[in-house]
Amino acid sequence: MKLLELYIFRRAFQMFFITLIPVLTIIWTIQVLGRINLVTDTGQSMGSFALLATFILPTIIPVVLPFAIVIGVTQTLNAMNNDSELAVIDAAGAPRSILYRPVMVLAIGMAAFSFLITNFVEPASRTKARDMVAEAYADLLSSVIEEKTFRSIEDNLYVQISERHSGRILKGLFLVDYRDPNMDLIYYAREGSIDENGTTLTMRDGEVHRKAKDGRISVVKFLSYAFDLSSMNETTGDKTVFSSDRSLAFLLKPDPTDKVFLHAPGAFRSELHRRLSDWMLPVVFALISLVVAGNARSSRRARLHPMVLALILAFALRWLSFYIVNLTKTSAAAVPFVYLVPGAFGVVCIVMLMTNRQLRMPPVIANLTGHWMNRAERGLRQMASDAKEGGQS
C-alpha cells in the first residue's frame, strides 16, 4: 500500500481496536458474571473461573467485531473529514481507491479472523465450557450439597439428597424443576449416580411427576433416567452435544444416525448457514461506513451524525440476518436469503461508491433533524449563559 493508504489503514485499525476492547470487555464481563454463582456455590477455584471465562470469550468476538469495524471506520473517516483531509485528498485528484483500499483490507482481514473464530475456535470453546459446567455440577451434587437439605442449583431448579456414598453414589434423590413455564417436573429416585466423566446424572428406580400449564398431572415411573449436568436437561443417557458445539465438518455432512441431529435437523441447518454467512458482516459494515462517511462534506449540513446513521443501518442488517437465520430452522426455503440479504446490502453500497453517490436522508427527516439540533444547540447555549450569570452573581 502507498503511504497515504498506510496512514488511513493505521488510523482505522487503531480506532477499531480502541472500540473493540472496551465493548468486548463489557459484554464478556456480563457473560462471565452470569456464571459466577455456579463457581462460588460449587467451591471452584479462581483458576477454574478464569478458565471458564476464557472459554466464553470466543463466543462473543464474532458478535462484537463487525460493530467495532463500523464504528472504527466511520469515526476515522468522520475525523478526517472534520480535519479537511478528505477535501484535500479530493482536491489533489487522488483516486477513490486511496480511501477504499485500506478500509477493505482491514474489513477482509477481520472477516477472515471472524470466520476462523466462528468455525474452529468457538465450537471447541463451547464444548469445553459445558464440560466445566458439568464438572462443577457433579462436584456440587457429590460433595458440596449437605444431606437432607434443599439446595438451589439454578433459578427454579432444586435438589435434595438423603444420603451420599462413595463413588458419587446418591441415595434418596429428589429433584424439582420449575424452569419450563409450560411444565413443572418433580423427580424422585431411590438411587442416583454421576458418571466417571462427571457429565451425566443417572437416576434409577423412581418416578417423575409432570404438571402441565392447564393443571393436568401425569406420573411416570422409570427404571433409569438421565440428565446432562452441563445444562441439567433430560438426555437419552449419552452426553448431549448441541448444533453449536459441532464442528464445521459435521455440519457440512451430518451423521444421519445421530440422535440429536434426527431430533432437530433444522437447528443444524441454521447453525451451518450462520457460520458460513457471519463472516460477510465485517465487509458489508465497512462498505456501509464508506458510503455514509467516505465523501467530503460540510459539517453545517443538517443531518444525522455519520456514526448514528451507520449504526442504524448496521443494526438493521444484523437484526434482519439474525431473523432470517432463525427462519432456516423451520424452512429450508429461507436459506438463500441468509446470503442474499447481506450480499444485496454490499452490492448496493458498491454501486453507490462506484457512482460516487451519497446516502441522503429524505427532506422531511433532514428538516426535522435540523430543527431539533438547532433547538438543542439553543438550549445548551441558554444553559451555559444562565450558569455563567449565576457564577458571576
**Residue partners of 378: CB distance under 8 A and separation at least 6:** none
pTM for this structure? Answer: 0.76
143 is written with which cell numbers? 460433595
Strands (E), the chain: 151-154, 157-165, 169-177, 183-194, 200-212, 217-228, 233-235
At residue 36, the 3 state secondary structure works out as helix
Q: Which residue has the cell 467495532?
A: 68
- Cell triple for 160: 435434595
For residue 302, the model assigns a pLDDT of 45
Q: Is the CB of residue 206 less than 8 Å from the CB of residue 225?
A: yes
Q: Which residue has the cell 427527516?
A: 365
- Quote the pLDDT of residue 212: 86
pLDDT (tens digit, 9 = 90+) per residue, 24-82?
A: 999 988 888 877 766 666 556 677 778 888 898 999 999 999 999 999 999 999 999 88
Instruction: Give the residue among 331, 317, 346 at the shortest CA–CA distance from 266.
Output: 331
Q: How far apart are CA 126 and CA 322, in angstroms?
A: 20
Q: Which run of H or of E encompasses 366?
A: helix 363-392
Burial of 79 (0-12, 13-18, 19+ CB in 10 A): middle
Do 102 and 65 contact (CB within 8 A), yes or no? no
Residue ranges of the chain whose pLDDT lies below 50: 236-238, 302
- Amino acid symbol at 17: F
The pLDDT of residue 237: 46
